[in-house]
Structure formats: C-alpha cells, structure tokens
Amino acid sequence: MPLRKLLAAIVLFLATAAAAQSPQPVPQFRTVGDARQLFVNNHPFLILGGELANSSSSSLRYMQPIWPRLKLLNLNTVLVPISWEMIEPEEGRFDFAVTDGLLEGARRNGLHIVALWFGSWKNSMSSYVPAWVKRDERRFPRAQAADGTTLEMLSAFSLANEDADARAFAALMRHLRQVDPQRTVLMVQVENEIGMIPSARDHSELSNAAFAKQVPTVLVPKGKAGGTWAQVFGSDADERFMAWNDARYTERVAAAGKAEYPLPMYVNAALAQRGALAGQYPSGGPLPHLFDIWRAGAPSIDMLSPDIYFPNFVEWARKYAVPGNPLFVPEASRAGQEEESSNAFFAFGALNAIGFSPFSIDSISTEGQPLGQAYAMLGGMTQLIVQAQQRGTIRGFRPPVAFNGTIDETPAAATLGGHRFNVSFIDPWTPRDQQHIASHGGLVLQCGPDEFLFAGSGITITFAPADGAGYDGIESAWEGRFEQGQWKPRRLLNGDETHQGRHVRLPPDRFSIQRVRLYRYH
Ligand code: DGJ
C-alpha cells in the first residue's frame, strides 16, 4: 500500500476509534417551544416502552429469550428493575454482574433502558432491601401502623435507612456512569410507588417525634393561611406530613445518585380511587394533590409520573401533563389491553408525552400485537411528532372512558392550521357490535400549509374552515407509511375510501397513516 494511503487509513482508524470512545451527551430534559422533552444524543426522543414484570430482570438467562421479543414489539426502551438486594448483597460489597448483563442484552437488541431503582420501597413495602438490612431492625427501623403493628417497610424517618439507600444508589449511578458512555440507560426511576399503607402516616417512635416537631412549623404552601399544619390541613395533615418526609428522603437518595451521574430522574405514583382515604391508597405518594410538596421537597426529581391502571386514562394523564412536568406513563396498565394503543396516541398527540409504557410487557405474545403496530407507526413518525410538539401543531384523540368503564362516544373537536376537525370514534362502515370503541384513537399533525398527517385507527374526520367562511374539501389523501423517517406514499385515496371527498377515515381493523391536503371552496 502506498504510504499516503496507509497514513489515510491510520487516520481514519484512529478517528473512528476516538468517536467510538467519546461519550454521547448525557440524556437531559430541555424545554423547546411548547414542549418539555427528553433529549437523547442531542435529539428529542419518544420512549416507546414497556416495563418488565418485577422479577424478570433478576436473571440474565431468564431474560435471554425476552430481549428479541421486545424488539419484535417495536419498543425502543425497556423499563428494567435494578434492586438494592441484587447489587449490594453484603454491606459495602457491590456486584454489578447482572446490571452489566442487562445493559449488554439491551444493546445487543438496539434497546434503551429506563432503570427502576427498587431501593427502600417498592409498592410501599421494603421487600427489595438486602438481607443485611432486613435482618437488622435495630439499625434500620421499620414503619408502624396506627395500631402499633410493625410493617415490613423501612421508616422514612431514619437517617440510617436514608444513608444506606443513598450510598447504594450512588454506587449504582457511579457504576452506570463508568460502564455506559453510549447512554443505553436514559433515565432512572427512584424507588417504586412510594407511600404509606395501611395508615395515612408512619406511627413509629421516630415518626411520632418528627410529627410533634414538624407539625407546628413545617412548610405551608402559598395561598394557605398560617397556623399549625394540623390546623391548616385538618385531616390531610397526616398525608401531607408523610408526603413531605417521603419527598425529603427520596431527595437525599436521588441527589446522592445525581452527584455521581446526573441522569434524569422521576418518581411514580400509585393512584387513588375516588373517595378512598389516605392509607387505603399509598399515602403521601406523588399524587396531584401533593405535587406542591413533592416539588418543594425533592427538587432533584425531574418528573412525577402516574401508573395508570384505572380506565379513566384521559383524566389521569391530563392531571400529570402540567407545566414543568412532562408526561411519562411508566405503567400504562398491564400490557395487552385493547385500549393501550389509543392511550399512546392520545398521550403523544394531545399531551406532549415523552413516553408510554405498559406494565409486564414480557408477558404478551408478539404475534399481531396492536401495540407493536402502533409503536412501529409512532417510531417512524417520531421526528415529525417531536417537532410538532415543540410548535404546538399536533392534536391527539381517543374517547374518554369514565372510572366505571362508560365510554364517552361524543366526537372530539380540534382546530389546527386554520381548519376545524370533527373526529368521530364510531366507524361508519363497520357494524356497531363489531367495534371496540375504546381502542379507537389517533393523532393529527400539521406538515405544511393546509397539509396534515392523520395516524391511528378507528377514527373518521370531517373538516371546516376555522373562520367559518366557505367549505373544506380534500385536494388529495395519500395512504402511506414512514420508512426510516421517510414518507413512502402507497395509494391515492378517493371514491369510497374518502366517501367521495366527504371525510378521512382510518379504518378500525388496522393502524394507518394518511397525508391529506385540504382546500377551500365557497
Ligand atoms: C404497580 C407496581 O408499580 C408494579 O411494580 C407492579 O407490582 C404492578 N403494580 C402490578 O400490577
């Protein structure tokens, strides 16, 4: 080989090796225009996710056949429990073999990970703490119920508990920083569904002492009159006291982790049934009525997220998509529910969600799975969706469902780009008894002047000029798909497919995309 060519080859080799070594930027939240988004490698990212069943990630062998199935479902991210008992079997001795294997498995299958830190609490309980913590009750005190029963739950009022958890979490984050320059791990959930049950607050000695000390002085949210906490909040005092102290504990753990590796962090909430009392649901968790306390108490937490198992997805999702708190649904019911895809379209299209993830994703088959088809479609459109979220040029639709399961079939209305859309969830050409209305939904985004992309299933859209002058007609409606982000038109729809120009219809038996150009006539 001539010298010049040899030198060029060496330079190229060194440059490629350097690029492979140089770490990607740390994932972070940024606000751009109307949207607060998760940036991965400097680009806004949508988590098309699923959460593993609780015990799957304890074994690399068990996980082996699961990874490719997640890929077949078109996930780009998997939510993976990493537990305290798994990484610190003896105090101060850390073992990251399984953690590293999980990262490897994800990378081999082109997936990202959201790590779930099952530390002091998992669904209120402390079953995931290591044996050396479980067995040393004196050093690591437990919470107590109002009747004095000791619970298998670390007390949030013990510094020893907090220190031990923070040390372990910091070790995990330090390790991730060292072994994950390629940013396989995008975010971390700190603890899991924090909150006190069956009483509204911990009644251990430590907690009682804190209650006596804090209640007269503790933070009173803006707008409330002064006074003792109990006077201000009445019967809510116990729950708000618990929320504040859970938030402070979580802050200590999260801040210790962030000091090692500042990945975005969030906490997830077990939601409360209407009318339920604190303690019947996990009291003090990051619920909407406690947002002020969680934000003040845990500033290192970037996001408060709902686990939505109730049918009224729309209502709960709206409560969490509030200014400064991007919507991420880490547990969007159990995987395999027929309405999960319409929930995903609604979350991304109506509420600028950064991610969506049904629970126990490894328990469903990959064959003909609606979620997989919806994710394929959303994955192909990601670039357009995140841009439209920033510009405020996207809308999402699904029929709201009440807590008792009643579906509100009223058509939805939206205005975008000078046009008013009427979105019906009842398909005109399918017998009513064959329609699963709750699974119908989709999104529309503007992709040019008078030009829109409609994506979803089981919705029919009619149009009118927003200013009321004249009528909207369809200039063209192309059915097509996105391949690697590129639009590939397939059929020009007209005739029966558009009801002779009267509507755009996304049939209920599949997911489809149409690129539609409108015009005005008088
Ligand atoms: C909510 C928890 O966060 C999950 O880990 C899991 O236990 C589910 N409940 C079970 O439905």
Q: What distance in angstroms lies between residue 501's CA and the mean position of ligand 1's atoms?
A: 47
Cα of 366 to ligand 1 centre, how many Å?
Answer: 22
Q: Looking at the structure, tell me whether residues 508 and 360 fall in a common domain.
A: no
Q: What is the pLDDT of residue 7?
A: 62
DSSP letters of 214-233? HTTTS---TTS--S-HHHHH
Mutate to test the pocket of ligand 1, among 55, 192, 359 (most ligand atoms within 8 A of CB): 359
Determine which residue's CA is closest to atom 2 belonging to ligand 1: 123
Model confidence band, residue 237 (pLDDT cutoffs 50, 70, 90): confident
Do 187 and 302 reside in the same domain of the chain? yes
Region of poorest pLDDT, from 115-119, 365-369, 378-382: 365-369
Tokens linked to 118 = 């099952």
Q: pLDDT value at position 214?
A: 82
450 is in which domain, residue-wise?
412-521
User: pLDDT tens, 12-39?
Assistant: 555 445 545 578 999 999 999 989 999 9
Q: Ligand 1 mean position to 51 CA, how many Å?
A: 10
CB 169 within 8 A of CB 249: no
Per the domain annotation, does 261 fall within a domain?
Answer: yes
pLDDT, tens digit, for every residue of 161-205?
999 999 999 999 999 999 999 999 999 999 999 999 999 999 999
Contacts of 92 (CB under 8 A, 6+ apart): none
The CA-based angle 37-42-45, given to 5 degrees, is 40
Tell me, in angstroms, the distance from the centre of ligand 1 to residue 307's CA. 8
Ligand 1 closest atom vs CA 116: 5
**159 & 52 share domain:** yes
φ, ψ of residue 251 to 5 degrees: the values are: -60, -45
Please report the atom of ligand 1 found closest to the CA of residue 193. Answer: 3
The verdict on 373 and 459 lying in the same domain is no
φ/ψ of 310, rounded to 5, equals -75, 155
Q: Which of 358, 380, 402 is the last residue of a domain?
A: 380
Residue 168 and residue 76 share a domain: yes
Residue 8 above 90 pLDDT?
A: no
Average of per-residue pLDDT across 403-422:
97
**Residue 193 lies inside a defined structural domain of this protein:** yes
CATH number at residue 366: 3.20.20.80
Using the atom order of ligand 1, give the atom closest to the CA of residue 81: 5
187 & 60 share domain: yes
- DSSP label at residue 193: S
**pLDDT confidence of 228, banded at 50, 70, 90?**
low
Structure confidence at residue 519 (pLDDT): 98
In a shared domain, residues 191 and 56? yes
Confidence (pLDDT) at 236: 86
Q: 454 has which bridge partners?
A: 444, 514
- Name which residue sits closest to atom 8 of ligand 1, judged by CA: 359
Q: How far is CA 469 from the centre of its chain?
A: 41
How far away, in angstroms, is 308 Cα from ligand 1 center? 10
Residue 262 domain flag:
yes
- Residue 505 sits in a domain of what CATH number? 2.60.220.20
| Ligand 1 atom with least separation from CA of 192 | 3
Q: Does residue 222 or residue 278 have the better pLDDT?
A: 278
What tens digit of pLDDT does each residue of 287-328 get? 999 999 999 999 999 999 999 999 999 999 999 999 999 999
- At residue 484 the predicted structure's pLDDT band, cuts being 50, 70 and 90, is confident
Name the domain boundary from 380, 395, 423.
Answer: 380
Separation of 496 CA from ligand 1 center, angstroms?
Answer: 46
160 with 268, same domain? yes
Say which DSSP state 483 is in: E
284, 147: one domain: yes
Q: Are residues 328 and 424 in the same domain?
A: no
**204: which 2 tokens?**
């251990």
Strand partners, 394: 445
Residue 227 domain-assigned (yes or no): no
Average pLDDT over residues 471-479: 98
Distance in Å, CA 77 to ligand 1 centroid? 18
How would residue 4 be classed by pLDDT, with cut points 50, 70 and 90? low
Q: Which atom of ligand 1 is nearest to the CA of 334?
A: 11
Q: Compute the distance from residue 201 Cα to the ligand 1 centre, in Å.
A: 21
Q: What is the mean pLDDT of residues 124-144?
A: 98
Residue 227 confidence (pLDDT): 58
The answer to pTM > 0.85 is yes
**What is the best residue among 118, 190, 193, 268 to mutate for testing ligand 1's pocket, by most ligand atoms within 8 Å of CB?**
193
Pocket of ligand 1 (CB under 6 A): 54, 123, 192-193, 307, 331, 359
- Whether residue 504 contacts residue 461, with contact meaning beta carbons closer than 8 Å, is answered with yes
Q: How many domains does the chain have?
A: 2
* Least-confidence region, from 210-219, 330-339, 493-502: 210-219
What is the rounded distance in angstroms from the CA atom of residue 389 to the CA atom of residue 35? 6
Residues 438 and 486 in one domain: yes
Q: Rounded to an integer, what distance in angstroms lies between the CA atom of residue 12 and that of residue 18?
A: 10
298 located within any domain: yes
225: in domain: no
Best CA proximity match to 140, nearest among 170, 163, 117: 163
Q: In angstroms, what is the span from residue 119 Cα to ligand 1's centroid?
A: 15
Q: Kindly state whether residue 273 falls inside one of the protein's structural domains.
A: yes
Q: Would you place residue 102 in the very low, low, confident or very high pLDDT band (cuts 50, 70, 90)?
A: very high
In angstroms, the CA 286 to CA 270 distance is: 8
Strand ranges in 69-222 using DSSP code E only, listed in sequence order? 77-83, 112-122, 142-144, 150-154, 185-192
Residues 375 and 419 in one domain: no
Query: Which of 380, 400, 426 is the last residue in one of the domains?
Result: 380
Cβ atoms of 218 and 236 closer than 8 Å: no
Q: Looking at residue 216, what is its pLDDT?
A: 62
Average pLDDT value over all residues in the chain = 94
